[in-house]
Amino acid sequence: MKARWCLLALGLGLGVSHYHCRTRCGGTSIVHLFEWPWRDIAEECENYLAPNGFAAVQISPPSENVVVTQPWRPWWERYQPISYKLCSRSGTEQELRDMISRCNKVGVKIYADVVINHMCSASAGEGRRSTCGSYFNAREEEFPSVPYSASHFNDDKCTTASGNIENYQDIYQLTASAAQVRDCRLVGLLDLAHRKEHVRERVAGYMNTLVDMGVAGFRVDACKHMWPEDLKAIYGRLHNLNTEWFPEGSKPFVYQEVIDLGGEPIKASEYSRLGHVTEFKYGAKLGSVIRRWNGDKLADLKTWGESWGLMPSDQALVFVDNHDNQRGHGAGGASILTFWEPRMYKMAVAFMLAHPYGVTRLMSSYRWDRSLVEGRVGGSCQDQNDWMGPPSYPDGSTKPVPINPDGSCGEGWVCEHRWHQIRNMVMFRNVAHGQPLLNWWDNGGNQIAFGRGDRGFIVINNDDCTLDALLQTGMPAGSYCDVISGQRTAAGMGCTGKRITVGEDGRAHFTIKATEQDPFVAIHAGSKL
Ligand code: AAO
Q: Which domain holds residue 442?
A: 436-527
pLDDT for residue 326: 96
Collapsing DSSP states into helix, strand and coil, what is residue 89?
A: coil
Residues in contact with 426: Cβ distance below 8 Å, sequence separation at least 6, in sequence order? 28, 29, 52, 53, 54, 353, 362, 417
pLDDT for residue 6: 33
Q: Is position 503 within any domain?
A: yes
* Domains: count for the chain: 1
Distance CA 212, CA 93 (A): 13
Residues in the chain: 529
Catalytic site includes residue 264: no
Instruction: Answer yes or no: are the C-beta atoms of 310 and 269 closer than 8 Å.
Output: no
Q: Is position 489 within any domain?
A: yes
Say how many C-beta atoms besides its own lie within 10 A of residue 478's C-beta: 15
Nearest CA to ligand 1 atom 59: 331
Closest CA to 264 of 173, 369, 341: 173
Going residue by residue through the chain, which has 529 residues, state the pLDDT in tens, using 9 for 90 and above.
Answer: 333 333 333 333 343 333 333 333 334 899 999 999 999 999 999 999 999 999 999 999 999 999 999 888 999 999 999 999 999 999 999 999 999 999 999 999 999 999 999 999 999 999 999 999 999 999 999 999 999 999 999 999 999 999 999 999 876 677 778 999 999 999 999 999 999 999 999 999 999 999 999 999 999 999 999 999 999 999 999 999 999 999 999 999 999 999 999 989 999 999 999 999 999 999 999 999 999 999 999 999 999 999 999 999 999 999 999 999 999 999 888 999 999 999 999 999 999 999 999 999 999 999 998 776 544 444 555 567 899 999 999 999 999 999 999 999 999 999 999 999 999 999 999 999 999 999 999 999 999 999 999 999 999 999 999 999 999 999 999 999 999 999 999 887 899 999 999 999 999 999 999 999 999 999 999 999 9
Q: Is position 9 within any domain?
A: no
Q: Is position 126 within any domain?
A: no
pLDDT for residue 282: 98
Question: Is this structure's pTM higher than 0.85?
Answer: yes
Distance 172 CA to ligand 1 centre (A): 23
pLDDT for residue 369: 86
Q: Is position 507 within any domain?
A: yes
Q: Is position 82 within any domain?
A: no
Q: Is position 495 within any domain?
A: yes
Nearest ligand 1 atom to alpha carbon 223 = 30
Distance CA 190, CA 146 (A): 14
Q: Is the peptide bond before 147 cis (omega within 30 degrees of 0)?
A: yes
Collapsing DSSP states into helix, strand and coil, what is residue 447?
A: strand
Q: Is the peptide bond before 71 cis (omega within 30 degrees of 0)?
A: yes
Closest CA to 276 of 306, 225, 315, 310: 315
pLDDT for residue 251: 97
Distance CA 81, CA 93 (A): 15
- Tell me the sheet residues that pair with 143: 148
Closest CA to 5 of 276, 241, 353, 239: 241
How far apart, in Å, are the Cα atoms of 358 and each of 26, 418, 474, 501, 522? Answer: 9, 22, 23, 31, 20
Q: What is the dihedral of CA 416, 524, 443, 289, to 10 degrees?
A: 20
CATH number at residue 479: 2.60.40.1180
Instruction: Answer yes or no: are the C-beta atoms of 428 and 485 closer than 8 Å.
Output: no
pLDDT for residue 376: 47
pLDDT for residue 14: 41
Distance CA 486, CA 488 (A): 7
Closest CA to 78 of 37, 29, 35: 35
Closest CA to 508 of 448, 468, 463: 468
* Buried residues in 247-272 as b, exposed as e (16+ CB within 10 A): beebbbbbbbbbbbeeebbbebebbb
Catalytic site includes residue 300: no
Q: Which residues line ligand 1 (CB under 6 A)?
A: 76-77, 79-80, 115, 121, 168, 186-189, 221-222, 224, 257, 259, 261, 264, 324, 329-331, 333, 378-379
Q: Which of 221, 260, 264, 518 is catalytic?
A: 221
Q: Is position 522 within any domain?
A: yes
Say how many C-beta atoms besides its own lie within 10 A of residue 437's C-beta: 17
Choose one of 35, 115, 167, 168 to mutate for the ligand 1 pocket test, by most ligand atoms within 8 angstroms of C-beta.
168
Distance CA 345, CA 71 (A): 33
Q: Which of 113, 191, 257, 386 is catalytic?
A: 257
Closest CA to 252 of 269, 234, 278, 279: 234
Closest CA to 411 of 424, 398, 421: 398
Instruction: Answer yes or no: are the C-beta atoms of 34 and 367 closer than 8 Å.
Output: no
pLDDT for residue 4: 33
Radius of gyration of the chain (CA): 23
Element (H, E) at 524: strand 520-524
Distance 249 CA to ligand 1 centre (A): 35
Choose one of 32, 63, 75, 76 to mutate for the ligand 1 pocket test, by most ligand atoms within 8 angstroms of C-beta.
76
Closest CA to 194 of 143, 139, 233: 233
Closest CA to 383 of 409, 364, 396, 365: 365
pLDDT for residue 19: 31
